[in-house]
Amino acid sequence: MKNLLLVIVIYIIFNSINLKAQNPEWIVYTYDSVGLNNDNNYVFDIWISPNNNKWVSGFNRFLIFNNQSWHIISGPYYKDIFFRGEDTVYLAGDYPKMFTPTDTLLLNTEEDTVVTIHGDTITKPRYSCGALGWKDGNLWLGTRRGLVKYDGSSFTEYDSLDPFLQATSVWFLKTDSKNNLWIGTDSGIVKYDGVNFTNWTVGNSPLPGVRIHSLVIDKFDNIWLTMGDMVGQTHEDHHPEIVKFDGTNWTVYDSLNVPVLPKYGIATGVCIDSSNVKWITTSSGLFKFDDTTWTHFDTTNSGLPSNSATECECDRDGNVWIATSYHGLAVYREGGVILSVVGQDLGFSPMTIFYPNPSENSGKIHFELFRPERVEIVLYTSEGKLVKTILNEYIAAGEQTVNFSTSDLPPGTYFYKFKTGNRIETKKFVVVR
């Protein structure tokens, strides 16, 4: 028995190492590869939930990815998402919207989507919301007309309490470890400690410009900004600038003091991983900064599908997720992308089961149809390139299993898109030798 257990343990370890070795450092998801056709592959933004799910906003589509399956939701472009633990999610758009896992998840029979989300709506006509934050048990809204606090039943407008916020749009809201609320606006940044507002602009600080593209806080409570629309520059003369502020001292990084940074373009986003490494998206690719060394990734030296990177987020597996203009969503991790699926329940029931995974020479896809209908199963590489159509037939009702050969596929990561009626599901599997 002990020998058998030892053999099992060695087998598991060997296959885990083998599987990790097969994982590519770059994976690219396009709308077509996840089940959407005739879209332009523009990804506006991405957020990572506390349970490591990816929430992706694009043109007229909203997608959720649990590292195994994509779930597609028709709807507007959301500007910000705030996760209050694992139970409540707030969405910021033309008006804030809240839903929880207890909300009804319905199949949409009129459009080519998987689910629509129905939740409690916080309505206030003037609040076109661009940012969400949390402080002192209240939801804070960044709007085009200032800062608003929502306590669950009533609104408090702070544009009348602080003159700086009267005529400014609020785009970012983040809370530091000392419970200060940091506010990114189109006129600078503001700190609110619960009593006083302190603001920094180009007039009273070294801020190089007025347009903030992103605001994040690192584990030492340093504020990191990416900037655009620089003072004294024409639109054609913009160059990426990354700003660090520790509450007292300012550091501005640009091509003048960091030669690897481009001379033209804009810095669009910044995210920070668990090692406190900064990742910056720009119109000239992706940059990594470990507080000492800058590293540049673009289409010539990496798997980045486009140099026009719009936003990024870091997940708990050490992956960096990069949104791009018109080229989909990329994910990068040195040593190989890790897509863990433990404990990531979206509340959706899987439509298909793939086995064995990893696969050597053949694979099986098991599914159940409640009525006769056409089923399409299409295979893609991890870069989103079409490999082949596995099935495109009218299938009878009941439990079904589709067998297909993987012997002609090079080792690596693949995805299959399962589509029938109004249901779409995309899943990953690995081919090994």
Q: Residues 80, 130: one domain?
A: yes
DSSP line for 234-302: -GGG---EEEEE-SS-EEEESTTT-TTS-SSS-EEEEEE-TT--EEEEETTEEEEE-SS-EEEE-TTTS
pLDDT of 181 reads 96
CA distance 32 to 387: 13
Residue 239 lies in a domain: yes
Q: Residues 255, 281: one domain?
A: yes
- Domain containing 155 equals 26-332
Residue 343 lies in a domain: no
pLDDT of 425 reads 77
CATH code, domain with 198: 2.130.10.10
Residue 54 lies in a domain: yes
Residue 84 lies in a domain: yes
Q: Residues 32, 60: one domain?
A: yes
pLDDT of 159 reads 67
Residue 340 lies in a domain: no
How many folded domains does the chain comprise? 2
Domain-terminating residue out of 332, 367, 382: 332
3-class DSSP assignment, residue 78: coil
Residues 6+ apart with CB under 8 A from 167: none
pLDDT of 22 reads 54
Q: Residues 319, 394: one domain?
A: no
Q: Residues 297, 402: one domain?
A: no
pLDDT of 16 reads 42
Domain-terminating residue out of 332, 362, 391: 332
pLDDT of 75 reads 60
CA distance 52 to 328: 20
Are the CB atoms for 115 and 105 separated by under 8 Å? yes
Q: Residues 318, 356: one domain?
A: no
> Residue 74 half-sphere exposure, CB side, CA atoms within 13 Å?
12
pLDDT of 73 reads 66
Residue 5 lies in a domain: no
- Give me the torsion for CA of 250, 253, 258, 262, rounded to 10°: -170
Q: Residues 396, 308: one domain?
A: no
Q: Residues 423, 395: one domain?
A: yes
Residue 339 lies in a domain: no
Q: Residues 280, 422: one domain?
A: no
CA distance 254 to 386: 40
Residue 11 lies in a domain: no
CATH code, domain with 399: 2.60.40.3080
Q: Residues 314, 363: one domain?
A: no
Q: Residues 278, 181: one domain?
A: yes
Residues of the chain predicted below pLDDT 50: 1-21, 38, 101-119, 125, 230-235, 343-349
Q: Residues 139, 167: one domain?
A: yes
Domain-terminating residue out of 274, 306, 332: 332
366 has which bridge partners?
353, 401
